[in-house]
């Protein structure tokens, strides 16, 4: 067994008869000041930016494979070993809690879901990493990879967590087997018998390491609480802590969780393994993350409602108040019990059995098809259908063409009036890369909130770890609901003049303006946009009004000159300058086709490169549009488009 930390491995596995060796490792010579943005960037931080060091680590692994005569390998996080296995044609089983096995797509998903970063950052770092990987692979006669994700694509993967706790989950196509970890020969420790005179009210189990920054703060807080019984498993416990925290039962070794958890009120830990085990026993968890992996898992934990994170040592919120809240508020316990009920049949033994089965199959198959260079169709399987969907930063889904307004310029008013079917929506959703930082807008040529399943679909998008937004005409707004469920919202308003609005087909302007104010109060201006169509009206009064409200995100769109739009407003003056007749196409390019800015799924689920193609007669595919332009022919469905250069 090759391990990065021989001391820790020996303490756990010394009795199991494993031959331990130090794993070949990489270390970056460059000190970076910023954290990685995704898995590819993390490898670059870890020394993959140095081609010689990478080659050394890979050849170290190749040496181990040859010396050990391994017939198969099981990895947690060892991408250099994965390269070595590819070169040596050894089958591999990948297992991990998700962070070290990101979803296979290009670019790989962000480590900072709270931050909007340009997609170019991800593509750049991935290209740099890919070139380092390919240098090493091709030097030894192996085929170059097309994407970093190809490295993982041909090895079976088992996620030793559950979908809700996967930092990049839930993933539609993943094999979640639950935790496999049980530490052998851990001594059983018991809580005091309850009902004893002066028995404490709560029992808190700690599973920490002394080097975790918040560890001492937690011990100090618990030491001051006479109503809590504490058992602390702290491998590496400094001897003086026994005296310093004499009111707590601190042990310098792991303990048997299964005997303790049934009567535990709260687990305080840092790692995903103990976290899953505690939740499966229905016990809430307070997480003290000190690494990015733990922080991302902690975010997922908070979404389940069964736990919280404490990261702010010395900040206004004290750890004592967090512990108090978690012990006294029943919502954490209820959510943890629900979690446990959902997965009542998950057992580490069954998960381990599944691992052995896959491993056996791999060994029987031998090198015949394991870890060969992936053919092109492997990539197609790993990247969602639609090819460049993963690279498109935003998606729009036309959930309905029905509307309670009747704007004169609206293409939707002459389209077949219907709602998108659930099966169509689900098939689109399946294609979207979860946890990718992508924004999905449920909007189209109708009022989205008229769709009877609108809010259910909003939740379905969020459950995939994607951001969700919409554009509404503002007439059917429940501000609190929007604030709770949407990341942002756009409201379409063209004018402050109620008569002009009515003439346009936008009814009940006073109600729309009241709703706008409610949204601003409930969501704040940073989550609210206003969209206006410029049909020649004076937009200044509206713009000034929005500025006064603090709404700075005001998007003004001109009328579209394309034939399938223009027939709706033949008299509009502002159209003529940009009309189909007056436009000259010079370069035969369109920025929506050059780089995938977005993807639009119409009411039937047809994938389009932009929102402007309404007449689908003759439309075949995005690639066909590109081919036509490459041959200096304007496809009918693009004729007159202002984006055509």
Positions touching ligand SF4 (CB under 6 A) are 403, 405-407, 410, 412-413, 445-447, 473, 492, 590, 592-593, 609-610, 612-613, 625, 638, 641, 643-644
Strand 73-75's sheet: what is its strand order?
Answer: 73-75, 92-96, 157-159
Q: Residue 49 or 445: which CB sits closer to ligand SF4?
A: 445
Rounded Cα gap, residues 456 and 446, in angstroms: 18
Q: Residue 437 or 609: which CB sits closer to ligand SF4?
A: 609
Q: Residue 137 or 509: which CB sits closer to ligand SF4?
A: 509
Rounded Cα gap, residues 34 and 30, in angstroms: 12
Min dist. Cβ of residue 122 to ligand SF4 (A): 24
Alpha helical stretches, state H, 229-370:
240-244, 257-260, 272-280, 292-304, 319-328, 330-342, 348-365
Cα torsion 148, 150, 153, 157: sign: negative
Min dist. Cβ of residue 165 to ligand SF4 (A): 40
Q: Residue 246 or 414: which CB sits closer to ligand SF4?
A: 414
Cα torsion 455, 460, 461, 466: sign: positive
Min dist. Cβ of residue 546 to ligand SF4 (A): 18
Residue 604 structure tokens: 């039937």
CA angle 433, 438, 444 (to 5 degrees): 105
Min dist. Cβ of residue 501 to ligand SF4 (A): 11
Q: Residue 327 or 407: which CB sits closer to ligand SF4?
A: 407
Paired with 644 in beta bridges are: 590
Q: Is the N-terminal amide bond of 320 cis, ω within 30° of 0?
A: no
Q: Residue 17 or 570: which CB sits closer to ligand SF4?
A: 570
Helix pair angle (454-463, 422-431), 10° resolution: 20
Min dist. Cβ of residue 635 to ligand SF4 (A): 7
Cα distances from 430 to residues 111, 172, 459, 486, in angstroms, run 21, 7, 14, 20
Q: Residue 39 or 600: which CB sits closer to ligand SF4?
A: 600
Nearest to 306 by CA among 279, 343, 268: 279
Nearest to 318 by CA among 330, 328, 327, 310: 310
Min dist. Cβ of residue 609 to ligand SF4 (A): 5
Nearest to 293 by CA among 38, 122, 123, 45: 38
Min dist. Cβ of residue 544 to ligand SF4 (A): 23
Cα distances from 313 to residues 111, 214, 288, in angstroms, run 22, 6, 10
Q: Residue 84 or 638: which CB sits closer to ligand SF4?
A: 638
Min dist. Cβ of residue 622 to ligand SF4 (A): 8
Min dist. Cβ of residue 466 to ligand SF4 (A): 23
The helix (run of H) or strand (run of E) holding residue 204 is strand 202-207
Min dist. Cβ of residue 471 to ligand SF4 (A): 8
Q: Residue 112 or 413: which CB sits closer to ligand SF4?
A: 413
Nearest to 529 by CA among 542, 520, 518: 520
Q: Residue 429 or 644: which CB sits closer to ligand SF4?
A: 644
Q: Residue 137 or 644: which CB sits closer to ligand SF4?
A: 644
CB 306 within 8 A of CB 279: yes
Min dist. Cβ of residue 585 to ligand SF4 (A): 9
CB 592 within 8 A of CB 613: no
Min dist. Cβ of residue 389 to ligand SF4 (A): 16
* Close Cβ partners of 570 (under 8 Å, ≥ 6 residues apart): none
Min dist. Cβ of residue 225 to ligand SF4 (A): 57
Q: Residue 520 or 532: which CB sits closer to ligand SF4?
A: 532
Rounded Cα gap, residues 164 and 315, in angstroms: 29
Q: Residue 175 or 621: which CB sits closer to ligand SF4?
A: 621
Q: Residue 175 or 557: which CB sits closer to ligand SF4?
A: 557
Q: Residue 25 or 645: which CB sits closer to ligand SF4?
A: 645
Cα distances from 120 to residues 34, 113, 247, 401, in angstroms, run 17, 16, 54, 34
Nearest to 176 by CA among 405, 413, 408, 346: 346
Min dist. Cβ of residue 412 to ligand SF4 (A): 5
Min dist. Cβ of residue 378 to ligand SF4 (A): 29
Annotate 284-304 with three-state secondary structure: CEEECCCCHHHHHHHHHHHHH
Annotate 478-534 with three-state secondary structure: CHHHHHHHCCCEEEECCCCCHHHHHHHCCCCHHHHHHHHHHHHHHHCHHHEEEEEEE
């Amino acid at each position: 067994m090759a391990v990065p930390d021989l001391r820790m491995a020996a303490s756990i596995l010394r009795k199991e008869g494993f031959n331990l060796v130090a794993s070949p490792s990489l270390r970056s010579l460059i000190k970076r000041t910023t954290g990685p943005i995704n898995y590819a960037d993390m490898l670059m931080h870890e020394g993959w930016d140095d081609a010689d060091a990478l080659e050394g680590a890979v050849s170290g692994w190749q040496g181990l494979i040859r010396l050990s005569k391994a017939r198969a390998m099981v990895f947690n996080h060892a991408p250099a070993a994965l390269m070595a296995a590819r070169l040596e044609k050894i089958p591999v089983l990948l297992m991990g809690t998700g962070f070290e096995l990101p979803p296979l797509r290009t670019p790989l998903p962000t480590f900072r879901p709270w931050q909007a970063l340009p997609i170019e950052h991800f593509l750049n770092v991935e290209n740099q990493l890919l070139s380092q990987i390919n240098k090493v692979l091709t030097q030894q006669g192996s085929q170059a990879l097309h994407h970093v994700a190809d490295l993982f694509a041909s090895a079976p993967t088992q996620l030793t967590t559950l979908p809700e706790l996967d930092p990049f989950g839930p993933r539609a196509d993943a094999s979640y087997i639950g935790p496999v970890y049980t530490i052998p020969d851990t001594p059983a420790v018991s809580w005091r018998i309850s009902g004893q005179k002066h028995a404490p009210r709560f029992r808190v189990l700690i599973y920490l390491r002394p080097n975790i920054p918040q560890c001492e703060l937690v011990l100090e807080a618990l030491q001051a609480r006479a109503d809590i019984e504490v058992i602390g498993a702290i491998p590496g416990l400094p001897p003086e802590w026994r005296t310093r925290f004499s009111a707590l039962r601190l042990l310098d070794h792991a303990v048997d969780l299964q005997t303790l958890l049934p009567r535990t009120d709260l687990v305080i830990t840092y790692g995903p393994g103990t976290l899953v085990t505690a939740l499966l026993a229905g016990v809430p968890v307070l997480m003290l993350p000190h690494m990015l992996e733990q922080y991302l898992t902690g975010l997922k934990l908070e979404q389940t409602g069964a736990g919280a994170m404490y990261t702010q040592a010395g900040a206004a919120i004290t750890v004592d108040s967090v512990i108090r809240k978690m012990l006294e508020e029943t919502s954490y316990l209820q959510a943890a019990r629900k979690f446990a009920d959902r997965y009542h049949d998950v057992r580490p033994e069954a998960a381990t059995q599944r691992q052995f089965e896959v491993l056996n199959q791999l060994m029987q198959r031998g090198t015949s098809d394991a870890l060969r260079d992936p053919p092109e169709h492997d990539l197609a399987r790993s990247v969602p259908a639609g090819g460049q969907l993963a690279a498109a930063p935003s998606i729009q889904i036309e959930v309905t063409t029905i509307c309670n307004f009747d704007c004169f310029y609206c293409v939707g008013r002459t389209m077949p009036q219907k709602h998108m079917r659930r099966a169509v929506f689900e098939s689109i959703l399946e294609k979207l890369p979860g946890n990718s930082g992508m924004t999905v807008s449920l909007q189209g040529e109708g009022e989205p909130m008229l769709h009877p399943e609108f809010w259910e679909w909003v939740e379905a998008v969020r459950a995939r770890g994607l951001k969700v937004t919409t554009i509404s005409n503002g007439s059917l707004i429940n501000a609190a609901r929007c604030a709770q469920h949407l990341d942002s919202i756009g409201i379409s308003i063209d004018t402050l003049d109620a008569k002009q609005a009515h003439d346009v087909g936008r009814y009940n302007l006073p109600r729309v303006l009241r709703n706008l104010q409610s949204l601003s109060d409930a969501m704040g201006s940073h989550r609210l946009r206003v969209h206006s169509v410029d049909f020649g009206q004076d937009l200044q009064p509206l713009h000034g009004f929005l500025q006064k409200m603090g709404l700075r995100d005001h998007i003004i769109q001109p009328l579209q000159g394309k034939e399938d739009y223009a027939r709706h407003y033949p008299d509009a003056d502002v159209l003529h300058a940009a009309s189909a007749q007056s436009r000259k196409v010079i370069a035969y390019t369109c920025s929506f086709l050059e780089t995938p800015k977005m993807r639009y799924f119409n009411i039937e689920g047809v994938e389009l490169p932009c929102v402007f193609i309404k007449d689908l007669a003759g439309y075949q595919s995005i690639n066909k549009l590109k081919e036509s332009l490459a041959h200096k022919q304007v496809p009918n469905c693009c004729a007159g488009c202002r984006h055509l250069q």
